[in-house]
Homo-oligomer: A and B are copies of this chain.
């Protein structure tokens, strides 16, 4: 039987309603790609793997939680769903709501969204409302409307979301035939690190140590203090007051893990490096985990020698065309002439 999505494969271990057929786009089952040349560059001596979550249907790991949250919403009789989102969540909510035939409303903090993410959300038929306020304002508003009306909230405060997201830990374990020594990932709202930890703990094997990375301009957990005006070009982790803050701190502690801040420059260096050395294109925030690994290895906080290390690439590079284009050099222009081509190629 071919892959039919997360709930078909892992549903018996997910605490969600089983009374309706899963709402699925066959999410999950994403590749775990060996990255030997990148390992040599940033963490010599380890076996490094990339969990390429950008190959989920809407291009990010959010689809794992969304298949669970939308299935739950359908089981509860919801006719509409709502979320506040800086981008990846909105595209995922819109796609799964479309799949289920539900109305979807997305609140976006005004002007703070990557172009390609918004376009996809609209393509999936969601109603997009820009508010004159921050992500935190948006989250407050959608929480309130979900309390007063039969509209289902699908932000990561929805517990079904983590039930879906934790399956990534099980996939990593199946793919490696064991758990890694370290799992590296970006930390924004902290739902993903919490979900991985839940997944690793539930399966009973020795769990990995967690290495979380926050953007330096948006590092509330690292600094131990809320950030009122978070700033980073890694928009998917630009969150100053994470919803799963305490769960992330617990996960880091229980796993003997580590969390650190990486600058935008370090994030973009890693973003470029993984594409050029391994042929894997991720969105900038996804590269924070690799930037964190590189920094932790350089500082002696992680010893890579002989270790198996997995870095989670949360979204596809195509999710953020603005960043990609900003990085891109203008192509060389030549006449349609073979000599000109051989000259410019130096052959």
Contact = CB atoms under 8 A, between A and B. Distances in A.
Interface string A277-295: 1111100000000000000
A279 B101 CA distance: 9
Contact of A331 (B32, B129, B141): B129
Interface stretch (A143-151, A182-190, A215-223): A143-151
A168 interface: no
17 contacts: A2-B32, A94-B279, A97-B279, A98-B275, A110-B333, A118-B328, A119-B321, A120-B324, A123-B276, A123-B317, A131-B341, A134-B336, A141-B341, A149-B347, A318-B319, A318-B321, A321-B321
A245 interface: no
B332 A279 contact: no
Contacts of A178: none
Given A124-B276, A124-B281, A128-B331, 17 more contacts: A2-B32, A2-B175, A3-B31, A26-B52, A31-B57, A94-B279, A95-B279, A116-B116, A116-B324, A118-B328, A118-B331, A123-B275, A125-B275, A125-B276, A130-B332, A132-B333, A145-B342
Contacts of A96: 279
Given A122-B327, A123-B317, A332 B129 contact: yes
B2 A124 contact: no
Contacts of A342: 145, 149
Contacts of A110: 333
Contacts of A336: 131-134, 137-138, 141
A95 to B, nearest CB: 4
Contacts of A58: 281
A12 interface: no
Contact of A281 (B107, B120, B278, B281): B120
Nearest to A27: B31
Interface of A: 2-3, 25-26, 29, 31-33, 37, 52, 55-59, 94-99, 101, 105, 107-108, 110, 115-116, 118-120, 122-125, 127-134, 137-138, 141, 144-145, 149, 151, 174-175, 272, 275-281, 316-319, 321, 324-325, 327-329, 331-338, 341-342, 344-345, 347
Contacts of A29: 3, 29
Nearest to A137: B336
Nearest to A3: B31
- Within the oligomer, what is the number of copies of this chain? 2
Nearest to A332: B129
Which of A110, A123, A276 neighbours the largest number of chain B CB atoms within 10 Å of its CB? A123
A271 B240 CA distance: 37
B108 A331 contact: yes
A338 B145 contact: yes
A132 B334 contact: yes
Contacts of A125: 275-276
B278 A99 contact: yes
A284 to B, nearest CB: 11
A197 B230 CA distance: 53
Nearest to A33: B26
A26 B50 CA distance: 11
